[in-house]
Amino acid sequence: MAAVGEDDAAWERAISAATKATSAPKTLALDGIVKSSTGRLPSAALLERFAASLEELSVAGARLSSLEGLPRLPALRRLSLPDNRLLGAAALAAVAEACGATLRHLDLGNNRFADVQELAPLAGVGVESLDLYQCPVSKVKGYREKVFALIPSLKHLDGADAEGNERLETDDDEDDEEDDEEGGRGEKKGKGWRERRRAKRMMERKGMKKMVRTGKGTTTKKVMRRLKTKTVKLRMTKLMRMQKTRRTSKAKQDLPCQIRGKGIARMMPMETSKTHL
């Protein structure tokens, strides 16, 4: 119980610091601020007071192993929970119950989901974008096809659609324009925060190697490690395709031809046959 009390006190301080500029924030980012000793989110009361306004919640790198007690957030559209210890259908059932009606973007990268069926609670929600980078489930045979079949509303998985086409930047531009029309995020983030966020998302999708900086100027190292892994895999795939093309082309050039006689003819390279003929 003492650990729970200490966690709640730490969460309360973090939330107060993140929302001191407004009483009705649309975005709440608690990435890496608290390392939960119990593996749980803040108590429901700490988040419920923002339920009417909160549209984006990010709790990355907090050592979360459970989403039990996640309150109802009827306005939430984007939930980011990467670099935690989440697994099992129960965690996603809590997400579906809390914000399933409005949730469109869900980031679960670098967690511990290992089976496609663990994602079943998302089948009935309207999530359109799902990230499962570096989760064990992403290594399952036929992973992409199975996830798209399981979640009918899904448009993008790990930044690409069902045909492998990368998500266009215009998706985020539209979100930014909506935020501007509704009066901004409601938080004081400093000059250029929108550009930093847009650049960060672009790097996550395209595997760029530039340093990503948050509003406080800290480097998101885990994101960069994921990007490096993805970039290496993409380069290896491209190299293998090039090598395969070269081998095929060389094989066509070296095809033998038949000369003289019937039945099983003597075979020799094309260049040699031209010389004899």
pLDDT at site 59:
94
pLDDT > 60? residue 264: no
pLDDT at site 250:
64
Domain ranges of the chain: 2-192, 226-276
In this prediction, residues 176-182 reach a mean pLDDT of 45
Rounded Cα distance between 261 and 249, Å, is 29
Q: Which residue's entry shows tokens 């925060």?
A: 193
- 185 pLDDT band, cuts 50/70/90, is very low
**Eight-state DSSP code of residue 212:** P
Q: Contact at 8 Å (CB) between 68 and 43?
A: no
- 192 pLDDT band, cuts 50/70/90, is low
- Burial label, 83 (beta-carbon count in 10 A; 0-12, 13-18, 19+): buried
For the domain made up of 2-192, give the CATH fold: 3.80.10
**C-alpha distance from residue 214 to each of 4, 25, 55, 111, 210 (Å):** 29, 18, 19, 21, 13
pLDDT at site 91:
95
In this prediction, residues 152-172 reach a mean pLDDT of 82
pLDDT > 80? residue 76: yes
**Eight-state DSSP code of residue 103:** -
In this prediction, residues 24-45 reach a mean pLDDT of 90
163 CB contacts (<8 Å, ≥6 apart)? none
Rounded Cα distance between 223 and 27, Å, is 20
Q: Contact at 8 Å (CB) between 54 and 75?
A: yes
Amino acid letter for position 92: L
Report the predicted TM-score, pTM, of the whole model to 2 decimal places: 0.63
- 43 pLDDT band, cuts 50/70/90, is confident
